[in-house]
Amino acid sequence: MEIIECLIIGSGPAGYTAAIYASRANLNPVLIQGLQPGGQLTTTNDVENYPGYPEGVTGPIMMEDFKKQAERFGSKIVFGTVTEVILSKTKGDVHKIIVDNKEEIYTKTVIISTGASAKYLGLESEKKFMGSGVSACAVCDGFFFKNQDVVVVGGGDSAAEEATYLAKLCKKVYLLVRKDEMRASQIMQKRVFDTNNLEVLFNHETIEVMGDKTVNSIKVKDTKNNQEKIISASGFFLAIGHTPNTQIFKNQLDMDSVGYLITKPDSSITNLPGVFASGDAQDSIYRQAITAAGSGCMAALDAERYLSELD
Ligand code: NDP
């Protein structure tokens, strides 16, 4: 039975950064890419806020760069999906990871960087304009809608935060809340209501995202009187929550009620020895490529330290 030093699950900024650091530390990491190689960034057109790309870069190219850099130092990148994990509770024991329901990998350390998935409404028209006006990240894509009108969907803290962020850039922001109240904290709601160019439409739901090549309007319905209307807007932002991709770790790793993995403060250390978590799978707050990359680095350093303690 071959036992590897370090297995990384996930191929977003956290996973590839962990691979760069782990391979440079001679841990010969194997990285399992998962269903969406490159992660959430591969659905983003332009990334302009990642340091080191002064002209900006597309999400897919940036992730290809991350991958090449990890491979340059000897990381083994494998196309496949981890379908089961049997994590050891004893320090020094190996963890068993099953890929695509068949291949078994035995590893001393596991770095989890499985990310999170933004929730979407599930409309066909929403899918059609993904990356051409539809986005689930105001910080990533808001800039492209400077001085334009946009619609944000959601009533939680994310929606409040994204809507107020966009209001600083855009001419007008409409916030569609499906109930007659917002779930967001009082302080966030106050910010929303204190913003002049932000209009909250309670009891409104989205019927269709409309446009030609890019979004130009949103058909919405007032659920109180069933009246439909069209809002002219070039951006449509979803802020209805994220789901961390951590289901396979349930009952083994500590997670919060939503499923975000819990790590010890200022580290990537989970409740099990030799298992580390990084990126959006354990971060419900920042959720940026740069913070994910930083935590991937932390996870590789924590794994290296754990292995040297075993030696
Ligand atoms: P939440 O789950 O808190 O809120 C999701 C919102 O989306 C709810 O208002 C919900 O409506 C709405 N929604 C869900 N599905 C649909 C749908 N199909 N159509 C229309 N609306 C829908 O998610 P958040 O991402 O806002 O927040 C997640 C966590 O992160 C929270 O704990 C939050 O406090 C925290 N957070 C904190 C921030 C901060 O403090 N700065 C910033 C961002 C997040 P309904 O209310 O009707 O169910």
pLDDT at 46: 75
Domain carrying residue 290: 3-117+242-310
Test site for ligand 1: of 139, 164, 183, most ligand atoms within 8 A of the Cβ: 183
DSSP 249: G
Of the residues 238, 269, 286, which one is the last residue of a structural domain?
238
23 and 132, same domain (yes or no) = no
Helix pair 186-193, 157-169: axis angle to 10 deg: 30
Give nearest CA residue, ligand 1 atom 37: 157
248 and 103, same domain (yes or no) = yes
Give yes or no for a contact between 112 and 249, defined as CB atoms under 8 angstroms apart.
yes
231 and 248, same domain (yes or no) = no
Give the Cα separation of 178 and 199 in Å (integer): 14
pLDDT at 273: 98
207 and 282, same domain (yes or no) = no
Test site for ligand 1: of 119, 120, 161, 178, most ligand atoms within 8 A of the Cβ: 178
Q: How many domains does the chain have?
A: 2
Token pair for 263: 């790590």
Give the Cα separation of 268 and 277 in Å (integer): 5
Provide the whole-model pTM. 0.80
Token pair for 195: 């913003």
Ligand 1 centre from 114 Cα, in Å?
21
216 and 76, same domain (yes or no) = no
The full 3-state SS of 33-62, as one line of letters, equals CCCCCCHHHHHCCEECCCCCCCCCEEHHHH
Which active-site residues does the annotation give? 137, 140-141
Residue ranges around ligand 1 (CB below 6 Å): 121, 153-159, 161, 178-179, 183, 240-241, 284
Give me the CATH number covering residue 256. Answer: 3.50.50.60
208 and 304, same domain (yes or no) = no
User: Any idea how long the chain is?
Assistant: 311
Of the residues 238, 266, 297, which one is the last residue of a structural domain?
238
The H-or-E segment that residue 98 falls in is strand 95-99
- Is the CA virtual torsion 281, 286, 287, 289 positive or negative? negative
150 and 225, same domain (yes or no) = yes
Give yes or no for a contact between 32 and 80, defined as CB atoms under 8 angstroms apart.
yes
**C-beta neighbour count of 159 within 10 angstroms:** 27
248 and 267, same domain (yes or no) = yes
Give nearest CA residue, ligand 1 atom 18: 121
pLDDT tens by residue, the chain, 311 residues:
899 999 999 999 999 999 999 999 999 999 999 989 999 888 666 788 899 999 999 899 999 999 999 999 999 999 999 999 999 999 999 999 999 999 999 999 999 999 999 999 999 999 999 989 999 989 889 999 999 999 999 999 989 999 999 999 999 999 999 999 999 999 999 999 999 999 999 999 999 999 999 999 999 999 999 999 999 999 999 999 889 999 999 999 999 999 999 999 999 999 999 999 999 999 999 989 999 999 999 999 999 999 999 98
Helices (H), 59-176: 59-72, 124-128, 138-141, 157-169
pLDDT at 45: 67
204 and 295, same domain (yes or no) = no
264 and 298, same domain (yes or no) = yes
Report the atom number in ligand 1 closest to the C-alpha of 179: 47
CA torsion 83-11-245-291 (nearest 10°) is 150
Ligand 1 centre from 6 Cα, in Å?
35
Of the residues 238, 260, 292, which one is the last residue of a structural domain?
238
Token pair for 194: 């204190």
Test site for ligand 1: of 240, 243, 288, 291, most ligand atoms within 8 A of the Cβ: 240
Both ends of the chain: CA-CA distance in Å? 20
Give the Cα separation of 249 and 173 in Å (integer): 39
127 and 90, same domain (yes or no) = no
Give nearest CA residue, ligand 1 atom 2: 241
Report the atom number in ligand 1 closest to the C-alpha of 155: 9
79 and 92, same domain (yes or no) = yes
Token pair for 172: 């007008």
Ligand 1 centre from 81 Cα, in Å?
29
